[in-house]
Amino acid sequence: MRLPICTLPPAAHGTRREAVTVSPLAIAISLGLCAALPSTVRAQAIVEDGTLGGESSVITRDVLIRGILSDRIDGGARRGANLFHSFEQFNIDAGRGAYFANPAGVEAIFSRVTGNDPSSILGRLGVLGSADLYFLNPNGILFGPAASLDLQGSFLATTASAFRFGDAGLYSTTAPAAPSPLLTVNPSALFFNQVTAGTIVNRSVTPIAPGSTFLVGLRVPNGQSLTLLGGDVQMEGGQLSAFGGRIDIGAVATSGTVLLNPNGSLVISNGLVRGDVTFTNGAILDVLLGDKGDINVTARNISVLGDSELQAGIASTFGAAGSQAGDLRLNATGTVRIAEGSLVRNRVNENAIGNAGNVEIVANQLVVLDSAQISTSTLGRGNAGNVILTVGDRILLDGGDIFSRVGAETLALDDSIQLQGGNIQITTGSLVLTNGAQLQANTDGQGNAGSILIRAREDVTFQGRSPTDTTLPTAAFSRVDAGATGRGGNIDIQSRNLFVLDGARLIAGTLGTGDSGDIIINATGRIRFAGTGPNGQTSVAFTNVEGAGKGRGGDISITAESVELADGAQFVASTEGQGDAGSVTIRATGDV
């Protein structure tokens, strides 16, 4: 029977949750010649290839294992704590399982596919023990909507050509011999030698338990690592869950070597030609638990689309004093595109204890569109992390937002607790915000807001308002909101030129109890505030103590070669509440 990969039903958007540590694997991945995933997959069972001689895998069909008929895989070539298997084909039908036996003392199981077909994993893949499982098929790997993992250890799936074990040798698909007696050490490399590496597709949306509505997709136990490394990786509505552990996704488009650090993270050098990673149809990565939990995605282009969600942090009701969530990192040599309502976030959830980690994006270009969001926040008892963007060429926010906040939920905490919001740190060539896009560093609760720090070699532009709600300006906000207690953060912009146009705004203010932050602008060229919004809204830089606010207003400091205010644009430092207004200082070497 042949199943067309392209016509498998898309995954439904579900929910997720739970996770913690990673076994110290040291894997370097050597990428080789491998065909891209073809449009069809031969869904026949599991067939060993005979390359291990008297140590070949022994497959027992139709064994009832944990409630489903499964293929049990015994035998294999034992080398110290490593166990090696080799197959001509490896596929699992929906509703069935495939389980590797785990002899005493075996800590890692390595499985390779030497035939020409991709693997179609439509059912359950498991290990009858605590060993980590490494699965290699250069031709491609598909995880269907009902695919699941039943493991006690970590899991790595790759379309590499070979595993490398330091100087001890390779376990390869291109020269499929029995493993050397020396392959008793931890793997140190995966070797790609293909012109085009195979694709990994994940559509898994399986529940955490039969009958549950809580969907987790492919899940490893709490604290373990889950790694996908292919030519391209396509998360087509699928989910990956490693609560408190780590998720690593990498894409490599040509020959080369990828390292895996002892903590399980991939290292793909900038000199290696990368493939693309895409998240669509509500795809989810989730590492939330009470501590740790890292997400790393490394590719040429990374696209997070269709209400997809990448999330790290501290889960509700989890954590303890001293808990620290891991970081969420996207690293692209090309473009990171986040759109269509998708979320990339790291947060301390309500009733959680501990500090959130950072969201870090490194790319040549970053595009955030269509109500998509990048955020760090705290809704519980802990500090928010930072949003750190290092983008070589350009950042475009078109109707998308980047924010860090201390949530109103924290007002229920003891008065002695003062939390800290995260900073938004942007380093780029140029920055453009339009159509109601916003940078926000606010406190709605009990804690200090973070600051917005922009460093651009070229121009920074804020322009216009939301086309669907003209009350929403394109803006940078740093505020202490009504009812909140804490200091506001600064808006600090350094660039060649700054343009604030057509009703856009820079605002630092306090409506609660606490001082406002400052607005600091340093431009080597010109600063221009001009144009009005659709309802006549002017373009402004504004610090204020508003209404019932209590605190000092922030200062506005402007330094440039020339400064232009047109069409009613203003620099305003004022107070309407209980506290002094700040000052406005303009330094220009040319025209004002």
Q: Give the pLDDT of residue 17.
A: 35
Q: Is the pLDDT of residue 220 over 80?
A: yes
Q: Is the pLDDT of residue 40 over 80?
A: no
Q: Give the pLDDT of residue 255.
A: 92
105-141 pLDDT, tens per residue? Answer: 999 999 999 999 999 999 999 999 999 999 999 999 9
149-204 pLDDT, tens per residue? Answer: 999 999 999 999 999 888 898 999 988 999 999 999 888 888 898 767 899 999 99
Domain ranges of the chain: 301-592
d(CA 148, CA 390): 36
d(CA 42, CA 530): 63
Classify 211 as helix, strand or coil.
Answer: coil
553-562 pLDDT, tens per residue? Answer: 999 999 999 9
Least confident of 335-344, 363-372, 440-449: 440-449
For residues 288, 291, 297, 298, the Cα torsion angle rounded to the nearest 10 degrees is 180
Q: Is the pLDDT of residue 89 over 90?
A: yes
Contact (CB, 8 A) for 231 and 300: no
Q: Pick the residue with more confidence: 260 or 22? A: 260
Tell me what the mean pLDDT of segment 543-562 comes to: 91
Estimate to the nearest angstrom the gap between the alpha carbon of 61 and the chain centroid: 39
339-351 pLDDT, tens per residue? Answer: 999 999 999 999 9
Q: Give the pLDDT of residue 416.
A: 66
Q: Pick the residue with more confidence: 526 or 35? A: 526
Residue carrying the six token digits 């080799």: 86
Q: Pick the residue with more confidence: 25 or 226? A: 226
Q: Give the pLDDT of residue 536.
A: 93
Confidence of residue 44 (pLDDT cuts 50, 70, 90): low
Contact (CB, 8 A) for 508 and 517: yes
Name the region of 375 (left: φ>0; alpha: ψ -120 to 50; beta: rest).
Answer: beta
Sheet architecture: strand order including 57-65 = 57-65, 68-75, 97-101, 124-128, 148-150
Tell me what the mean pLDDT of segment 201-222 comes to: 95
DSSP track, 219-241: E--TT-EEEEEESSEEEES-EEE
- Nearest partner of 18 among 282, 421, 289, judged by Cα: 289
192-209 pLDDT, tens per residue? Answer: 987 678 999 999 999 999
Q: Is the pLDDT of residue 235 over 80?
A: yes
pTM of the model as a whole? 0.91
479-528 pLDDT, tens per residue? Answer: 888 887 888 999 999 999 999 999 999 999 888 888 999 999 999 999 99
Confidence of residue 28 (pLDDT cuts 50, 70, 90): very low
Q: Is the pLDDT of residue 11 over 80?
A: no
Average pLDDT, the chain: 90
Q: Give the pLDDT of residue 414.
A: 65
Q: Give the pLDDT of residue 32.
A: 41
Exposed, middle or buried by CB within 10 Å (0-12, 13-18, 19+), for 553? buried
d(CA 91, CA 242): 24
Q: Pick the residue with more confidence: 419 or 303? A: 303
Q: Is the pLDDT of residue 83 over 50?
A: yes
d(CA 330, CA 295): 8
CA distances (Å), 126 to each of 148, 149, 218, 318, 374, in order?
8, 6, 11, 28, 35
Q: Pick the residue with more confidence: 87 or 321? A: 87
Q: Give the pLDDT of residue 260.
A: 80
> In one letter, which amino acid is 122?
L
Tell me what the mean pLDDT of segment 423-439 comes to: 98
376-401 pLDDT, tens per residue? Answer: 998 888 899 999 999 999 999 999 99
Q: What are phi and psi of 55, to 5 degrees?
A: -105, 20
> In one letter, which amino acid is 570?
Q
E runs forming strands in 223-358? 225-230, 233-236, 239-241, 246-251, 256-260, 266-267, 277-280, 284-286, 294-299, 302-304, 309-314, 319-324, 328-332, 335-338, 343-348, 353-355
Q: Is the pLDDT of residue 2 over 60?
A: no
